[in-house]
């Protein structure tokens, strides 16, 4: 069991890239919350780690909201995209 690894959003709310949870309110400091990450998230995280990408980086690269239904395919695409990025497809940064 672990806590959410919240990251501050531009609007002052907090988001956990691990489980996709976002606070509805603005907080000065990151709130405490048990992370409810799913198996899929673990798989994706391992996948990303394998190509040298941390969740923090990914959430910065692809700053988008987690849609419940879309999440699975989004994460799959994300993994593929990131793999491409880091396999050196030509474009810098
Ligand atoms: Zn979380």
Domain ranges of the chain: 7-86
Helix axis angle, 71-86 to 39-50, nearest 10°: 10
CA–CA distance, 22 with 68 (Å, rounded to integer) = 12
**Distance from the alpha carbon of residue 27 to the mean position of ligand 1, in angstroms:** 16
70 pLDDT higher than 80: no
d(CA 75, CA 28): 29
Backbone angles phi, psi at 34, to 5 degrees: -70, 130
pLDDT-based confidence at 55, cuts 50/70/90?
low
Confidence at residue 71, expressed as pLDDT on a 0 to 100 scale:
64
Please name the residue that has the structure tokens 């030509």.
90
User: What is the Å distance from ligand 1's center to 88 Cα?
Assistant: 30
Q: How confident is the model at residue 15 (pLDDT cuts 50, 70, 90)?
A: very high
CA of 38 to the centre of ligand 1 (A): 9
Residues of the chain with pLDDT > 90, as a percent, come to: 30
pLDDT band at 22 (very low <50, low <70, confident <90, very high): very high
- From the CA of 15, how far away is ligand 1's center (Å)? 8
Distance 14 CA to ligand 1 centre (A): 10
């Amino acid at each position: 069991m672990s806590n959410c690894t919240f990251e501050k959003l531009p609007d002052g709310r907090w988001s956990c890239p691990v489980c996709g949870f976002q606070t509805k309110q603005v907080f000065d400091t990151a709130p405490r919350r048990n992370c409810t990450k799913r198996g899929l998230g673990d798989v994706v995280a391992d996948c990303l780690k394998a190509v040298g990408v941390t969740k923090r980086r990914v959430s910065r690269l692809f700053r988008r909201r987690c849609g419940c239904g879309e999440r699975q395919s989004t994460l799959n695409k994300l993994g593929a995209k990131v793999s491409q990025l880091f396999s050196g497809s030509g474009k810098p940064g």
